[in-house]
Amino acid sequence: MSTLFTPMPKTKTKKILGIDPGYGRLGFGLVKVQAGNLSAVDYGCITTSVKSPHAKRLLKISTDLKKVLKKHRPDLVAIEQIFFAKNVKTAIKVSEARGAILLAAQESGYQIVEFTPLQVKVAITGYGQAEKSQVQKLVERLLKIKQKITSDDAADALAIAVCAAQNNNLNQK
C-alpha cells in the first residue's frame, strides 16, 4: 500500500462514488472504505450516442447516473472539476454534462465534493504532473484490481473516489 494513503477512520464501512464528467462517456467508480482499507466495488461508463440531440444526451446522463446512485447508495459523491484551456466548444458541452451530474446527485440527496485534476494526481501519486498511465497503475494497486482497467474514464473515476477517501472525514454527513 502506498505511503501516501491516509486511511479513513476504522469505524464504519463507507462507499464513495467517484465521477469523471464527460459528455460522450462519463466514468464512474465506487470504492468501499472498510477498516481503513480501500476496495473497488463497481466501475464503468455511462455513454451517450453522438446521434442523439444534445438535450437527450444530458437526460440520459442524469437518468443513468440516478440508476447508479440508487443501486449503490454511496455515502459521498466525488466529482472532478473540469479544466480546459483550448477547446471551448468541448468545455461547454462537458460543463453542461457536469451540471446534469451535479443536479442528479443533489436531487437524490447526496453529499458532493469536488476535486481538481491536480488534487487527484497528488492524492494518488504524490506528483501533480503524473501521467494518466501512472495514476491508473497506482489506482489498480491501491484497490487491488488484478486486471487492467480498460476504460480511462472509469480509472479516472476510481482515482477521484480514492482522492475523496483520503481527503474527507466521512463520519460527517
Q: Are strands 76-80 and 14-20 parallel, antiparallel or unpaired?
A: parallel
Q: Which three cell numbers stand for residue 92?
A: 461547454
In degrees and rounded to multiples of 5, residue 142 shows phi and psi of -60, -40
Q: In which residue are the cell numbers 477512520 written?
A: 9
Which entry of 42, 64, 75, 80 is annotated as an active-site residue? 80
Catalytic (active site) residue 20 = yes
Choice among 75, 96, 140, 153 that is catalytic: 153
Measure the CA angle with vertex 104, ends 98 and 106; round to 5°.
100
Q: Is 80 a catalytic residue?
A: yes
Distance CA 165, CA 6 (A): 9
Is residue 153 annotated as part of the catalytic site, yes or no? yes
20, 64, 96, 131: the active-site residue: 20
Give the up-direction half-sphere exposure of residue 100: CA atoms within 13 A in the CB hemisphere: 25
**Grid cell locating 116:** 481538481
Catalytic residues: 20, 80, 153
